[in-house]
């Protein structure tokens, strides 16, 4: 009995694998085209990190994904997965190591949800019992009721449910790398936010290396450990942590791309615990103040402050102990120091 066979008796199996992904001076020119779709793209995604790829339409995001799993050939450069060139691998075998989720999901319409999820394990020759246990585990993991969903066909699911099945199928063989090309692009805003939250929670459990494409910069900020911004012609404009991109956009293109409401987005990344709070004993009336957890984002705190008519919020830690008071002034200071920093560049 191997590790995973024994693991399903002990509850959720370990998702142990993740591999570093490295793109080295990757260029792609499609046959018959003069322009490069991707030009000299170099970036490294550490094992277990989420790299979000953003950029205008036609900037080469999908091309990058298809180069990684060798659906199309490189023009020049190299791509390493776990330190090993993808060019040295047999493409079909390589693709079993890479979960691929696309916007249209691409579930097989004439197969049930269970059969869809079982695709790769079946190819790998897993035994029936092991496959069934895996399907059940994955459905639960993506927040679907296994007994209700397993035997349905894709047409009998909502768009969001289909998307989750797509993610479950991509995770089935525990691949060290996941490629997700606008996976939530066709989902309505409410379900989209829910799927984003679930993705973040899922990623905490499975810790895959993920390349995630989106058009939505807010989605990128929420999901990414790092964001790679491509400009037209497939040239990398900036590759950095979300906070760094918002506070120090590399150039005019990036700052236009991340938008004029950069300050608000930046607030979304700051936790109230990290701000210069007013000492809790310094103000009277704090007993009646509305309490917020130290992990609340500064942006959510701003919304609360606006609703409460500017009454200070009492920031408390996990045990309910007061850490300090958050006032409009504190947020104003944060924003004006950011603005000053932006002007000085």
Beta-bridged to residue 179, according to DSSP, are 100, 211
Question: Among 13, 22, 59, 62, which residue sits at the site for Mg ion (rule: CB under 5 A)?
Answer: 62
Q: According to the binding rule CB under 6 A, does residue 30 interact with ligand ATP?
A: yes
Q: According to the binding rule CB under 6 A, does residue 70 interact with ligand ATP?
A: no
Q: Which stretch binds Mg ion (CB under 5 A): 46-54, 57-65, 241-249, 273-281?
A: 57-65
Q: According to the binding rule CB under 6 A, does residue 61 interact with ligand ATP?
A: yes
Q: Distance between CA atoms of 162 and 117, rounded to whole angstroms?
A: 11
Q: According to the binding rule CB under 6 A, does residue 57 interact with ligand ATP?
A: yes
Given the complex with ligand ATP, which of 205 and 215 has the nearer CB atom?
Answer: 215
- How many residues make contact with Mg ion (CB under 5 A)? 2
Question: Among 2, 9, 33, 288, which residue sits at the site for ligand ATP (rule: CB under 6 A)?
Answer: 33
Q: According to the binding rule CB under 6 A, does residue 344 interact with ligand ATP?
A: no
Q: Which tokens belong to 331?
A: 């947020």
Q: Are 134 and 118 in contact (CB under 8 A)?
A: yes
Residue 132 burial (C-beta neighbours within 10 Å; 0-12, 13-18, 19+): middle
Please name which of 86, 83, 74 lies closest in space to residue 41, comparing C-alpha atoms: 74
Distance, CA of 90 to chain centre = 28
Question: Among 60, 114, 160, 166, which residue sits at the site for ligand ATP (rule: CB under 6 A)?
Answer: 60
Question: Among 46, 48, 58, 280, which residue sits at the site for ligand ATP (rule: CB under 6 A)?
Answer: 58
Residue 198 burial (C-beta neighbours within 10 Å; 0-12, 13-18, 19+): middle
Binding site for ligand ATP (CB under 6 A): 30, 33, 37, 55, 57-63
Binding site for Mg ion (CB under 5 A): 61-62
């Amino acid at each position: 009995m191997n590790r995973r066979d024994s693991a399903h008796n002990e509850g959720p199996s370990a998702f142990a694998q993740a591999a570093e992904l490295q793109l080295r001076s990757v260029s792609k020119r499609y046959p018959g085209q003069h322009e490069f779709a991707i030009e000299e793209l170099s970036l490294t995604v550490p094992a277990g990190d989420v790299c979000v790829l953003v950029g205008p339409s036609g900037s080469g995001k999908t091309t990058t994904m298809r180069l990684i799993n060798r659906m199309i050939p490189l023009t020049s450069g190299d791509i390493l997965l776990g330190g090993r060139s993808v060019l040295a691998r047999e493409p079909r075998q390589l693709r079993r190591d890479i979960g691929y989720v696309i916007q249209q999901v691409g579930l097989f319409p004439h197969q049930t949800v269970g059969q869809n999820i079982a695709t790769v394990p079946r190819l790998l020759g897993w035994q029936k019992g092991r496959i069934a246990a895996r399907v059940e585990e994955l459905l639960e993991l993506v927040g679907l009721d296994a007994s209700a969903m397993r035997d349905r066909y894709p047409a009998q699911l909502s768009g969001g449910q289909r998307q989750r099945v797509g993610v479950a199928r991509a995770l089935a063989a525990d691949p060290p790398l996941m490629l997700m090309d606008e996976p939530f692009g066709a989902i309505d805003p409410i379900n989209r936010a829910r799927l984003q939250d679930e993705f973040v929670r899922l990623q905490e459990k499975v810790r895959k290396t993920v390349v995630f494409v989106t058009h939505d910069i807010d989605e990128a900020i929420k999901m990414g450990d790092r964001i790679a911004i491509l400009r037209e012609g497939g040239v990398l404009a900036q590759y950095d942590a979300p906070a760094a991109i918002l506070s120090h956009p590399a150039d005019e293109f990036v700052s236009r791309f991340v938008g004029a409401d950069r300050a608000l987005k930046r607030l979304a990344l700051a936790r109230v615990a990290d701000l210069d709070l007013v000492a809790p004993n310094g103000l009277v009336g704090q007993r009646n103040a509305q309490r917020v957890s130290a992990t609340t984002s500064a942006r959510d705190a701003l919304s609360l402050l606006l609703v409460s008519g500017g009454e200070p919020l009492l920031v408390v830690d996990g045990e309910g102990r007061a850490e300090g008071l958050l006032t409009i002034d504190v947020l104003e200071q944060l924003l004006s120091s950011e603005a000053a920093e932006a002007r000085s560049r």
